[in-house]
Amino acid sequence: MVIGLLIGSTCAAYHDFHQEQIAHLHFARRDHRPAQVIGGLTPQQYQQLAKLNYQSGANPIVQVNHGRSTLNPKSWRTNKVIYQQLDSRRRTSGSNTAFLNWRNHADTSLRINQITQPTGWHDNRNGNLIYNRGHLLAYSLTGGINAHTGQYHTSAVGDQDNPRNLFTETDFTNQMLQIIYETRVRHTIEQGKHVVYQATPIFRGSEQMARGINLQAISTDGSLNFNVYLYNIEPGTKINYQDGSSVSDPQMRVLVPVESLGETDDESQRSMDNGTLKISGHYKRPFATAPRHYYRIWQNNK
């Protein structure tokens, strides 16, 4: 009887696996582009997004292409990341594209503090938490990825302080918006699925700080599929995107998405600036009207 149960269980598992593979193939075949075409954000879409201006009180998330990814699921061939080089102004203005599976869920305890200063960077001052060193591709999704080559290797601990994967991002956009979609990708690869994920900071003209970031992803079975633009904004703050500087603006209200409830990223909170930052307070809901606050603990004050 025991042997019969084991055989039956094995057969059932194989049947489920086989049906899943059929579903993968069926979904991927709907895309008629060759596997060599990755897809993603086009130059025309980039320029359209760069022209958008955030209006106080509006939704900070814009659905692009009706929320459907333009990435090609057939382009997933091997576990890797394609990093773009910095542009002529030293900005991360290109699309970083990751081909992910379960091996890429990184051990966040191995993450180091970030010291790279991306264009538009300013240290946080006077207790107001405005600036983050934002990852295009979250560290938690880059386990085993060599930050120089983008190739997977079991000895690599993931993308660490990589200038090609960091941009000046507001605390609100990083911690309240981008984390929503990073979590969706992480949950999908934890289920054993393959995901093509792309992140593109959007700069307007020669500005040093990005106006926002386009995130899109598609799993090879179609269960994960999103395409969004996130405004790079901070409640209670007016940002000069030309140089990244900012001043207080009490009229700047930002709608807090329901999906962000309960989402935190303690790891990134430890590497926003020189020294260690301790965060206090939360963004007010449903409309955030001011930045969060912090106090700094220097290493020699232990």
pLDDT tens, residue by residue, 282-301: 999 999 999 999 887 765 54
Residue 254 burial (CB count, 10 A): 28
Q: What integer pLDDT is reported at residue 190 of this predicted model? A: 96
Q: Where are the beta strands (DSSP E) in 83-194?
A: 96-100, 128-129, 131-135, 166-170
Q: Report strand pairing: 61-63 vs 225-231.
A: antiparallel
Beta-carbon contacts of 188 under 8 Å, excluding residues fewer than 6 positions away, are 195, 217, 219, 223, 224
Rounded distance, CA 252 to CA 245, Å? Answer: 16
Q: Cβ distance 197 to 137 under 8 Å?
A: yes
Does the pLDDT value for residue 88 go beyond 70? yes
The amino acid at residue 135 is H
Rounded distance, CA 35 to CA 71, Å? Answer: 11
Confidence of residue 188 (pLDDT cuts 50, 70, 90): very high
Q: Is 130 helix (H, G, I), strand (E, B) or coil?
A: coil
Domains of the chain: which residue ranges? 23-301
pTM of the entire predicted model:
0.86
Over pLDDT 70: what percentage of the chain?
83
Q: What integer pLDDT is reported at residue 7 of this predicted model? A: 55
Name the CATH superfamily, with its identifier, for domain 23-301. Extracellular Endonuclease, subunit A (3.40.570.10)
- Over residues 27-47, the pLDDT tens digits come to 666 788 889 899 999 999 999
